[in-house]
Each structure stands twice: as structure tokens, then as C-alpha cells.
Chains A and B, each alone.
Chain A
Amino acid sequence: MTSNTFAPTRSLNPFAGLMSGTAGPVIVVVLAIIGAWYIGSVSLNTPFQLDTYERADRTDVPFSELLSDTLSQERPVLPAPHQIAVEIWETTAEKKITSKRSLIYHSGITLSSALLGFLIGTTLGILLAIGIIHSRVLEKSLMPWIIASQTIPILAIAPMIIVVLNAVGVSGLLPKAMISTYLSFFPVAVGMVKGLRSPEVIDMDLMHTYSANRLQTFWKLRLPYAVPFLFTSMKIGMAAALVGAIVGELPTGAVAGLGARLLSGSYYGQTLQIWSALIMAAFVAGSLVALIGLVEKLALQRMGMTR
């Protein structure tokens, strides 16, 4: 009674605090996705389960049994989240990293070529952008090719790149990395052209009054201006590089890598293997993009560009 007067004047809803931040809405969205996934799993796996019952001459199976059976098939049309979680656990934590069945081993293979391709692609993109902003001739002659390169489906050109590079004696990591490069240089080149051109007229005029040469203008004005653009395009380039590495494994009959897991999974109808490789790929891409985001934050803080 009297103690009530000292109670905080908050809502009595225990979730009020949770929902006021960002954590609450995020949890709600994740739960909604998982819920929709379970509904999809049950409805997509039911026809096969009914067939099985029919062949076993079982009728009037209770719904609860049907439900649990659809969520524990060996090769479901759509695996349930907990099945994928178990599969990922078994192929990561419970396997040695060197094992051919370890998802970490396969992720590592894909990651190494994606990272190599990303590094080459980012360097290439930056160099192309520097050339393009300083030379009208380079812009006119390069830009159409750069754009045309991205209109070719990567699935069509990936085998060509691997075959051609093999023919000239390049094999191993590099051909796959080249496909990542092919995909990741583009966002970096376009983003950096935009970034290096973004200084205001007044900033350029200032450099002109100091009689700064092109190199000084580049280092002291254009490049710092382009840093936020670089990080944004690197995030896109990183995700594209990972896609490139996976796609590069598909047409070559690679035996290792996330792409190889996807391929062998689809040969043998191992949907669990496919989905766990997909989730792993998404996780790796997400982590890398988050890592770039972290570096971006630190870099911009150091440059005094965040408040």
C-alpha cells in the first residue's frame, strides 16, 4: 500500500524494458523467421511422410507423430532449423578441423580463395579508380569494359577462367581467387571513383591556391574523402568475393570447399548438408562484413570523422 508509492513509475509490463531497445525487435524478427521456417518444414515434408505411412500400410497416424516425423526426416525437402543446427554442430565442433567432413575445413578452403580474390580485387578496383579519375582517356576506354564485365553471368564465365588459367599452368588457389576478384573489383572501382571525385569545389580550390600537385591533392584531399566510400564498397566486394569463391568451386568438380559441399549435397540429395553449407557461408560472409565494419569504425574514429 504505502510501499507502492516508492515503486518506480514504470509500466507493469515486464517486457517493456526489453522492447524499448533494439534487442526486443531483433528477437521478435528472428522468432518470426524461425516460426515461418518450421511451418514451411512441416508442410513441405508432409507429402513424403504420408507416402511413407502409406507404403507401411499405416493409417490414422496421430497428428503429433506426423509432426515429429516431418521434423526428423533424413533427407527432408526443407530441413527444420534444429536439424541444421545439429548437423552444423556435428560437422564443426565434433570433427577434427583436418577431417574432410569438417565444415570448418571446407569453410577455410573457400575463405582462403575468397580472401585472396578480395585482396586482389580491392587493389585492382582502387588502382582502376585512381587511373579513371586522373585520365579522361582511361575513363572512356576502361569504364565500358568494367561495366560490361559485370553483365556476364558469373556461372558462364567461371569455368572459362579456370580452364584458361589451367591451360597457362595456373592452378590451385589462384583460379578460384580470380573469380572472386572478378566479382569484387567492380564495387570497389565504382565506389572509389565516386569517392575520389567527391571533394567539394571549395576543397579543390583550396588545393589549387596552394599550388598542390596531383599527388599531393590525391594523398591530402581525395583519398581521405574516399575512405568512407572505400569501406562501403569493400563490404559489398567482400560478400561478392565469397559468392565468387563458392561459384568457382561448382563447375570445376572441386572436392573441397563450401561450393563442393553444396554440389555433393545436391548429388546425393543430402539437403541437410546443403543447408548447413549455406548457413555456414552466410555466417562467414556476415562475420567478414562485420569485421570490415569494425575496421571502418576504428579508422573513421582515428580520422576524427565520427562524432
Chain B
Amino acid sequence: MTALAGAKDTEMVEKHKSASPDRVIDIEKLSLTFETNDGPVHALSDIDLKIEQGDFVSFIGPSGCGKTTLLRVIADLEKPTAGSITVNGVSPEEARLNRAYGYVFQAAALYSWRTIAGNVALPLEIMGLSRSERQQRVARNLELVNLSGFEKKYPWQLSGGMQQRASIARALAVEPDLLLMDEPFGALDEIVRDHLNEQLLQLWAKTSKTVAFVTHSIPEAVFLSTKIVVLCPRPGRIYDVIESDLPRDRTLDIRESPEFLKIAHRVREGLKAGHSYED
């Protein structure tokens, strides 16, 4: 540990040299401490993580392990207190200003006074795109999430799963290379979730985007990901990083295969080990 801490400075200097052009996210020695009335809370501690172009990375862990916080740091919704992070080779703030990513929240967070089309057009209006460009992108992305024909509906007229799909279309409309998803299907039932997982995977295959995906479902993480990051709490840190060798072209049936179960088992063991000394 002391050797690692001593090497920190040289690593920081060399980081930009070694950054490969395909590196989307590069996190080194990142920590985030919230100051609260009950003393400091170490939400993230000493995180090292690299995400390459085209990866589908899942963050999995029990609540309080900092997986959402980590995603929020990437999105520049939280500022780290130590360490370094680059997104597309620049700071998260710069990446946000470049509109490098689309963010999907746990809740759909659609604006109730806007129609579905209006909601998807919201980021495009903020970006200052022309009306015709907006219309094209809205139509294209609503079709991508199978919501064509629902343009004029208001959010409350749609089911929870459809609302979440609309919010994914809204994130995609920005046309980012990076998609940040914070438990987007957490509030949905198993059947809808399976269906959306399959759709998301097809979407990812079609668009070759990089996805960072927070979940606490093991099957979801294993089914979707090329890389699974297991986090454990107090302080929030990375326990295990699993590179999945499942083929990129997957269907739900793969969940019965021995390879799938082997990875799921390793994730489960990681979650257990990271958690055990707490109880």
C-alpha cells in the first residue's frame, strides 16, 4: 500500500502519455468524502478504473457502496475530493460542457408539462439545434426505443417501462458516445426489465456506444456487461473487476449457459466477500 501511495505522483505525470486514444474513462486514486454532521462519510475510496471505447461496464454492489456516486462523479454531478479522473481525455466538467454523455436516472424524470416528443426534444432545445434537426432526432430515437406513435402523449399516459424508455430516448437524442445509466430499470418488474435489457443490448450493438451501468441485480449485470465492477461499502471501493468472455451477441437464453453461471457465481462471491466482515 505504501509503495502504491509513493508511486502516485509519477503515475499522475505519466497518465496523459499513457492514455490510449480508445480510453473513454480513466480514473486514478479517486476518493470522495462527504462532510456530514455525523463526521466524514467515505463514499469512494482509492478507485482505479479504466473504461475503453465500446465497453459495457456494470457497477454492482450493495446500497451504500458508492456505485451511483461513482457514476455521478463521471457525469460531473459530484466533485471528487482526491485523485484524478478524465472523460474522453478531459475533465468531467469539460466533458459535460462538450455534451459527451447522456445520463439516464433511476426515475424517468420526464417533465410532466411536456409531451413525450417534447421531453426528448428538451436537451436538443438546450443545445440550440434547429427545429428540423430536433424533429428528426426525436423521431429517430423514439423509434429506436419502440415508442413511435406516442409523440403527443403526456408522461402520465404511459406505463413505467415506457416512461423509462422515453428517458433513454432523451439521453440518446444528444447522440453521445457515452451512456451513463443509474439503475434505469430498478423500479420495473422482472418481465419488463428482461425485455428492456434485451432491447438495450441490441441498441448497444447497433450504436457501438460505451455504457456505464449501475445495478444491484447480478443477472442484469452479467447479461449486459463486457466488464463487471464489484464494489463494496464503507468505504466505497472496488473489490473485483471481472472481464466477461461472453459473446457480444447475446440473447436471454445465455443466462442458462455454464459460462454465464460461472461469471454470476464470481460476482456473487465478490459481493459476499466484500460484505462479510460487516455483519
Interface set of A (CB-CB < 8 Å, partner B): 200, 202-203, 205-212, 216, 220-221, 224, 227, 303-305, 307
Q: Chain A: interface secondary structure?
A: helix
Q: Which residues 88-124 of B have a CB within 8 angstroms of A?
A: 96-97, 99, 101-103, 105-107, 109, 111-115, 122-123
A305 near B113 with CB under 8 A, answer yes
A304 near B154 with CB under 8 A, answer yes
18 A-B residue contacts at CB 8 Å? A203-B109, A205-B77, A206-B103, A206-B109, A208-B76, A208-B77, A209-B77, A209-B102, A209-B103, A210-B99, A210-B126, A212-B126, A220-B111, A220-B122, A220-B126, A224-B111, A305-B112, A305-B113
Known: A202-B106, A220-B125. 6 other contacts (CB 8 A): A202-B105, A203-B109, A209-B77, A209-B103, A216-B126, A304-B154
Give complex CA distance A280, B224 in Å: 70
B75 contacts the other chain (CB 8 A): yes
Shortest A220–chain B CB gap in Å is 7
Interface size on B, residues (CB 8 A): 26
Out of B106, B111, B174, which one reaches A221, CB within 8 Å?
B111
Which chain A residues border B76 with CB–CB below 8 Å?
208
Which chain B residues border A209 with CB–CB below 8 Å?
75, 77, 96, 101-103
Which chain A residues border B114 with CB–CB below 8 Å?
304
Closest to B167 in A: A206
Closest to B153 in A: A304
Closest to B170 in A: A206
Known contacts A220-B122, A220-B125: A304-B109 contact under CB 8 Å: no
A211 near B97 with CB under 8 A, answer yes
A211 near B99 with CB under 8 A, answer yes
A210 near B156 with CB under 8 A, answer no
Closest 10 CB pairs of A and B: A303-B113, A304-B154, A209-B103, A202-B109, A210-B123, A224-B113, A210-B126, A212-B126, A211-B97, A216-B126
Closest to A303 in B: B113
Shortest A36–chain B CB gap in Å is 45
Shortest A54–chain B CB gap in Å is 70
Interface set of B (CB-CB < 8 Å, partner A): 75-77, 96-97, 99, 101-103, 105-107, 109, 111-115, 122-123, 125-127, 154, 156, 174
Give complex CA distance A78, B77 in Å: 67
Known contacts A211-B96, A212-B126, A220-B122: A304-B101 contact under CB 8 Å: no
Which chain A residues border B111 with CB–CB below 8 Å?
203, 220-221, 224
Which chain B residues border A220 with CB–CB below 8 Å?
111, 122, 125-126
Give complex CA distance A203, B101 in Å: 17
Shortest B166–chain A CB gap in Å is 13
Shortest A212–chain B CB gap in Å is 5
Which chain B residues border A307 with CB–CB below 8 Å?
156
Which chain B residues border A227 with CB–CB below 8 Å?
113
Shortest B254–chain A CB gap in Å is 32
B99 near A304 with CB under 8 A, answer no
Which chain A residues border B112 with CB–CB below 8 Å?
304-305
Shortest A67–chain B CB gap in Å is 59
Closest to A213 in B: B126
Give complex CA distance A209, B97 in Å: 8
Shortest B60–chain A CB gap in Å is 22
Which chain A residues border B102 with CB–CB below 8 Å?
209
Which chain A residues border B174 with CB–CB below 8 Å?
210
Give complex CA distance A206, B113 in Å: 16
Give complex CA distance A211, B76 in Å: 10
Closest to B95 in A: A211
Out of A202, A211, A304, which one reaches B113, CB within 8 Å?
A304
